[in-house]
């Protein structure tokens, strides 16, 4: 662990985010508008996993999946509050990686930054393949691999244009998600209470919450198993804090995003899942066969429900791809600035785009897509499982960083504490305990690959951490 850092100025080896480097362009540009950031913040919490991953959670926990979502949602709210406290005081494109660098040491910023980058470049391959499957079902003349290539190339070009291009695409992608899920909640809610015109569903009603084996048909333990199945669909909430660094008023953007995370999770996650488990019995075979949202729409006899949902899922996939590439490249840029990645990653074009960081991220994404088609059950499965627990590692590092950064901010720049973590440090420690508990419980889960995911993720994390420690010792020896 390094000596206690200063808020106002990073280590001599760690230039502040956005500064121009020798041979660099003008650094990152403040090209994101308020409407971009608002939609990025809202859309970032609605991942494709919500639409395609909720079925297994409902089948496992029944209506009690609402408690699983509520517990994970509360954990994410607390983590975002901590991240918001640090990011509002010191907005940076590296977000939690930069904060960990200053609060915990170079080893922490290096390790969590590269793990986060690894997570998102693997997600690029997963989402590109998911989008290709949908597009091929619509236009089978184009093979699946070609669709994956087309999607990756188009979104790479978007990100290479300017940060405003990313913001504009994400504004519309996220907008479609928000409108779709809002319409689903309103229409489904009206049907649940029997006031939707033209629809008389025998299966809909609040009785579904308790009428088929009770609210917890598989016992209280299923709530914890449900948490394991839904926790990763929340990854992406932190993107707004990275994007805020490229806005005209980063502090305001971070504050707004953090303050709105509670209602975003309550409405979009809890609201939509409540509608699903109220419209249909939790054990209805169509939920796992067709997907929870498609099954819910079909129960209302809405024409072409499957295709409507496919379009929404495709939009979510494209949004995730767009944001994943942006996020991976900005993390690589930040690592390059701090000397923890090739210096080329920290260079920007005249439009403020870190071209090398984007291309490096997308190349790894292309390689992962190839592995998905060539070695789906070996190499690609390893990549997916070994990055699966990174979300929990990131949240854990945010917690420990905030414990120390609060003291640094209070000592050096107390006026920058415009966002404060509630009941500090007690809620921070409680969140740490909950995350550690979830990781521990995953080690007991063999039915859903929880143990394999944690062990492989820990293996990769240990390798990255070892590289960080050795690298730091070598640098100190040179001084």
Paired residues of 441 in beta bridges: none
Q: Please report the pLDDT score of residue 372 as a whole number.
A: 86
User: For residue 419, is pLDDT > 60?
Assistant: yes
Quick one: tokens of 20?
A: 């121009």
Q: Please report the pLDDT score of residue 19 as a whole number.
A: 44
28 lies in a domain?
A: no
Cis peptide before 425 (omega within 30 of 0): yes
Q: Please report the pLDDT score of residue 47 as a whole number.
A: 67
User: For residue 136, is pLDDT > 80?
Assistant: yes
8 lies in a domain?
A: no
Q: What mean pLDDT do residues 271-282 have?
A: 93
Collapsed DSSP state (helix, strand, coil) of residue 221? helix
| Structure confidence at residue 8 as a pLDDT band (50, 70, 90) | very low
Quick one: tokens of 46?
A: 């609605």
pLDDT tens, position by position, 349-389: 888 899 999 999 999 988 988 888 888 888 888 888 888 88
318 lies in a domain?
A: yes
User: For residue 403, is pLDDT > 70?
Assistant: yes
Number of helices (H), then strands (E), in the chain: 20, 0
Domain containing 66 equals: 34-478
Residue in 324, 247, 323 with CA at minimum distance from that of residue 29: 247
User: For residue 56, is pLDDT > 80?
Assistant: yes
Is-contact 67 57, C-beta < 8 A? no
pLDDT tens, position by position, 167-210: 888 889 888 888 888 999 999 999 898 888 766 667 788 999 99
Quick one: tokens of 307?
A: 């295709």
14 lies in a domain?
A: no
User: For residue 3, is pLDDT > 50?
Assistant: no
Sign of the alpha-carbon torsion through 130, 131, 136, 137: positive
Collapsed DSSP state (helix, strand, coil) of residue 218? coil
Q: Please report the pLDDT score of residue 24 as a whole number.
A: 54
Rounded to whole angstroms, how far apart are CA atoms 284 and 298? 12
Q: Which of 6-10, 47-51, 57-61 comes out lowest in average pLDDT?
A: 6-10
Q: What mean pLDDT do residues 397-414 have?
A: 94
Q: Please report the pLDDT score of residue 16 as a whole number.
A: 40
User: For residue 15, is pLDDT > 60?
Assistant: no
pLDDT tens, position by position, 462-477: 999 999 999 988 888 8
Long-range contacts of 142-146 (CB under 8 A, 24+ apart): 145/369, 145/373
User: For residue 10, is pLDDT > 50?
Assistant: no
pLDDT tens, position by position, 218-272: 999 899 888 888 888 888 888 888 888 888 888 888 888 888 888 888 888 999 9
174 lies in a domain?
A: yes
Higher pLDDT, 75 or 41: 75
Q: Please report the pLDDT score of residue 6 as a whole number.
A: 38
Rounded to whole angstroms, how far apart are CA atoms 395 and 400? 9
User: For residue 18, is pLDDT > 50?
Assistant: no
Q: Residue 29 — left, alpha, or beta (φ > 0 → left; ψ -120 to 50 → alpha)? A: beta
Rounded to whole angstroms, how far apart are CA atoms 110 and 473? 13
Residue ranges of E strands in 170-306? none
CB atoms within 10 A of CB 259: 14
25 lies in a domain?
A: no
Q: What mean pLDDT do residues 100-127 have?
A: 92
| Structure confidence at residue 4 as a pLDDT band (50, 70, 90) | very low
| Structure confidence at residue 290 as a pLDDT band (50, 70, 90) | confident
- If you average pLDDT over every residue of the chain, what do you get? 86
404 lies in a domain?
A: yes
Burial (Cβ within 10 Å: 0-12, 13-18, ≥19) of residue 401: buried
Q: What mean pLDDT do residues 429-439 have?
A: 95
DSSP track, 354-380: -HHHHHHHHHHHHHHHHHHHHSTTTHH
Q: Please report the pLDDT score of residue 5 as a whole number.
A: 37
Cα–Cα distances in Å, from 236 out to 17, 241, 321, 390?
A: 21, 10, 11, 12
Q: Please report the pLDDT score of residue 45 as a whole number.
A: 66
23 lies in a domain?
A: no
CATH number at residue 175: 1.20.1740.10
> How many domains, in total, are found in the chain?
1
pLDDT tens, position by position, 303-350: 887 788 888 888 888 888 888 899 999 999 999 999 999 999 999 988
């Amino acid at each position: 662990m390094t000596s206690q850092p200063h808020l106002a100025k990073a280590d001599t080896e760690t230039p502040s985010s956005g500064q121009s480097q020798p041979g660099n362009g003008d650094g990152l540009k403040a090209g994101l508008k308020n409407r971009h950031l608002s939609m990025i913040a809202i859309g970032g919490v609605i991942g494709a996993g919500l639409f395609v991953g909720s079925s297994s959670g409902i089948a496992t926990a029944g209506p009690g999946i609402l408690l699983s979502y509520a517990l994970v949602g509360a954990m994410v709210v607390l983590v975002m509050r901590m991240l918001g406290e640090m990011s509002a005081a010191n907005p940076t494109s590296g977000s939690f990686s930069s904060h960990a660098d200053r609060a915990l040491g170079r080893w922490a910023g290096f390790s969590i930054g590269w793990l986060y980058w690894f997570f998102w470049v693997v997600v690029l391959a997963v989402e590109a393949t998911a989008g290709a499957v949908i597009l091929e079902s619509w236009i089978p003349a184009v093979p699946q691999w070609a669709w994956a290539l087309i999607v990756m190339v188009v979104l790479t070009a978007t990100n290479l244009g300017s940060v405003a291009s990313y913001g504009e695409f994400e504004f519309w992608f996220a907008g479609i998600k928000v409108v779709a899920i809002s319409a689903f909640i309103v229409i489904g809610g009206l049907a649940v209470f029997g006031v939707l015109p033209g629809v008389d569903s025998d299966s809909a009603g609040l009785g579904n919450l308790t009428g088929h084996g009770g609210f917890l048909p598989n016992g209280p333990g299923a709530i914890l198993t449900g948490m394991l199945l839904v926790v990763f669909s929340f990854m992406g909430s932190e993107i707004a804090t990275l994007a805020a660094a490229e806005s005209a008023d980063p502090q305001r953007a971070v504050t707004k995003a953090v303050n709105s995370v509670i209602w975003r999770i309550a409405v979009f996650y809890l609201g939509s899942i409540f509608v699903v488990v109220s419209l249909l019995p939790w054990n209805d075979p169509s939920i796992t066969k067709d997907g929870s949202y498609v099954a819910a729409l079909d129960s209302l006899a809405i024409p072409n429900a499957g295709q409507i949902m496919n379009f929404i899922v495709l939009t979510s996939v494209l949004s995730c791809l767009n944001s994943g590439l942006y996020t991976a490249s900005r993390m690589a840029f930040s690592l390059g600035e701090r000397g923890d990645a090739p210096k080329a990653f920290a260079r920007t074009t005249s439009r403020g785009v870190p071209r090398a960081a984007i291309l490096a991220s997308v190349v790894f994404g292309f390689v992962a897509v190839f592995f998905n088609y060539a070695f789906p059950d070996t190499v690609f499965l390893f990549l997916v499982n070994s990055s699966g627990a990174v979300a929990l590692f990131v949240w854990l590092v945010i917690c420990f960083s905030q414990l120390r950064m609060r003291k640094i901010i209070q000592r050096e720049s107390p006026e920058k504490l415009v966002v404060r973590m509630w009941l500090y440090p007690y809620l921070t420690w409680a969140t740490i305990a909950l995350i550690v508990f979830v990781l521990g419980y995953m080690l007991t889960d063999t039915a859903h690959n929880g143990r394999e995911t944690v062990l492989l993720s820990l293996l990769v994390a240990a390798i990255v951490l070892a590289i960080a420690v050795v690298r730091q010792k070598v640098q100190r020896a040179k001084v």
